[in-house]
Amino acid sequence: MVKIRSNEKKQKNSGFEKDESKNEKKTEKLPSEIKFDYIKSNQFRVIHVDGAHGGVSPKGLIQMAFFSERAPIPKRETYSLEQGKLGQRKKVEQRDAIVREVEVETLIDLQVAKVIVQWLGEKIKQAENLTTGVL
């Protein structure tokens, strides 16, 4: 939640207007709009998400880690050498489970989580409308 406060020293540049009445009370009008600039951090990247895992932290934050699923890649492969050239693969060592690669973990305040749930619900409806042809 964004709270907007006035600073009398910076009043000229704050976007607030003073309304001086006859009672000498000074009231401030809040601005009618606010702008947000989105800037990508150096760590920004797009990830594929197959699921999430998490819980509630001791401080009451919702902890959610996003993961993608994939088949395991080999840990090690052994090939034969035939006259100095790579031959047939002889042995493969790999995991015997599906890999869930954790991409990022988030800690979310309860109020922010509620806003995200509402936003996500809206996006789900939009996606469902696209797939059913309803506009």
Does residue 64 form part of some domain? yes
Q: Note whether residue 4 is domain-resident.
A: no
Q: What is the mean pLDDT of residues 65-84?
A: 95
- pLDDT tens-digit series, residues 9-25: 444 444 444 555 555 56
pLDDT of 3: 47
pLDDT digits (tens, 9 = 90+) for 35-67: 999 999 999 999 999 999 999 999 999 999 999
Number of domains, the chain: 1
Residue range(s) defining the domain that contains residue 63: 47-132
In a domain, 98, yes or no: yes
The answer to whether 66 and 102 are in contact (CB under 8 A) is: yes
- Name the residue type at position 68: S
This model's pTM is above 0.75: no
Determine contact, residues 49/68, Cβ cutoff 8 Å: yes
Question: What burial letters (b/e) apply to 33-59, b meaning 16+ CB within 10 Å?
Answer: eeeeeeeeeeeeeeeeeeeeeeeeeee
10 Å CB burial of residue 114 (0-12, 13-18, 19+) is exposed
Percentage of residues of the chain with pLDDT beyond 70 = 80
